[in-house]
Amino acid sequence: QVQVAESGGGLVQPGDSLRLSCQVSGLAFINYHMAWFRQAPGKEREFVAASKRPGSSTYYSQSVEGRFTISRDNAKKMVYLQMNSLKPEDTAVYYCASGTPALSAIRRSDMYPYWGQGTQVTVGT
């Protein structure tokens, strides 16, 4: 059984940093792309970042490029999202996802079969 579990969310101030972690079990992690998506209240889930298997390339949305960094530890079956210079508009539930989409579809949430429950990130008061 595949399990995906995020951690590390919280309440921070604008300009602060936060690191999210995601633990995966039940699949051959090194063979899967890993991605982070987020969903703000009243909005659709959106792509944030992805790490191509086994970790040679990364992809980012325009809104986070230069501020967020995705990384993975294949031995530990972990993926991380380092978030710097956080802004109020980064407030959302952040989800970790695992799948094997074609690279042309790596930003599409519907191409990932395995998801965590999400972790809340709130930026601001």
DSSP secondary structure letters along 96-122: EEEE---GGGTT-GGG--EE---EEEE
Q: For residues 58 and 15, what is the distance between their CA atoms, to the nearest angstrom?
A: 23
Nearby residues of 21 by Cβ (< 8 Å), 6 or more positions away: 6, 7, 8, 78, 79, 80
- Chain-wide mean pLDDT for the chain? 96
Residues 6+ apart with CB under 8 A from 117: 5, 6, 95
For residue 125, pLDDT over 80 is answered with no
pLDDT value for 56 = 80
Note whether 101 and 111 are within 8 A (CB): yes
- 32 or 56: which carries more pLDDT confidence? 32
Which pLDDT value is given to residue 119?
Answer: 98
Write out pLDDT tens, residues 49-100: 999 998 889 999 999 999 999 999 999 999 999 999 999 999 999 999 999 9
Confidence band of 113 (pLDDT split at 50, 70, 90): very high
